[in-house]
Structure 1
């Protein structure tokens, strides 16, 4: 005899997504929008060609918000094939500065090469020169209630 499915059996799983083209990257961008992170949680591993961020991202995909307050989760956003990193409006040497990610976009140059542009609140940006687009977004902790207990909003 089989039992009926229960609500608990359909629990949400951590995200583990990859992007190999601009369209896939837009999905990751929408899920990482409004993520916050201290500047100390950015790493460029030049020898390995990887750039990573440890983000506290809003769980935009959370369908259970009617049952609980908005949640965040720590996630690793990693880019491979990175040849160079440049930034604008990101304070150098101040590891405690908290940055807010607004969007991620891919600007092709000489296919498959291009630039990944991470746009930050306050006119900041990080540009990654990549040989080819390869990104991953992976949740690495359990969700927690957002300290503000609200979802971020943006004027129209």
Structure 2
């Protein structure tokens, strides 16, 4: 993979693309940070490459192949004034979260929906999200499955 994904989301339509890319990302709870003075909420995730990584022009996972990959991904939300959480114990630094979706909930609110019914609510004005893959993807044996 020559260059990883780099995106900026400024509205609900853009955020829907980010949400699709981050679906089933794994986030160590210790890799969440809110920097109130900078208006930043930051997370590092192990993102499942839904778009696939065909090697040498070969088939991707969407072509029916079993090859699946993850990549380290930095996600920054700018212009955040406050963060609320539900169903999440930040003291459990060894806990891993599974991100299900990212939603623009209107009125300067972005919701991060996590497995187990947990949520993170970001509040601000004109919240902008930036996603940037880091490093190289690595193969994984398990592909997320929602039983659909």
- 3-state SS of 1:14 partner: coil
**Aligned residue number for residue 46 of structure 1:** 36
Which of these residues, 118, 132, 154, is aligned with residue 146 of structure 2? 154
Structure 1 segments unaligned to the other structure (5+ residues)? 1-10
- Tell me, yes or no, if the aligned pair for 1:69 and 1:150 is still in contact at 8 Å: no
TM-score, normalised by the number of residues in structure 2: 0.89
TM-score, normalised by the number of residues in structure 1: 0.85
- Aligned: 1:23 with 2:13: yes
Alignment of 1:57-96 (within 5 A): 57-64=47-54, 65=60, 69-96=67-94
- Aligned: 1:145 with 2:139: yes
- Tell me, yes or no, if the aligned pair for 1:59 and 1:72 is still in contact at 8 Å: yes
RMSD: 1.5
- Tell me, yes or no, if the aligned pair for 2:72 and 2:135 is still in contact at 8 Å: yes
Deviation of 1:155 (Å) = 2.8
What does the per-residue CA deviation read over 1:13-52, in whole Å, with 9 as the maximum and x for residues that have no partner?
A: 3000010000000000000000001100001011000001
Length, aligned pairs only: 140
Greater strand share, structure number? 2
**Aligned residue number for residue 101 of structure 1:** 99
1-side partners of 2:2 and 2:18: how far apart? Answer: 17
Structure 2 segments unaligned to the other structure (5+ residues)? 55-59
- Aligned: 1:132 with 2:130: no
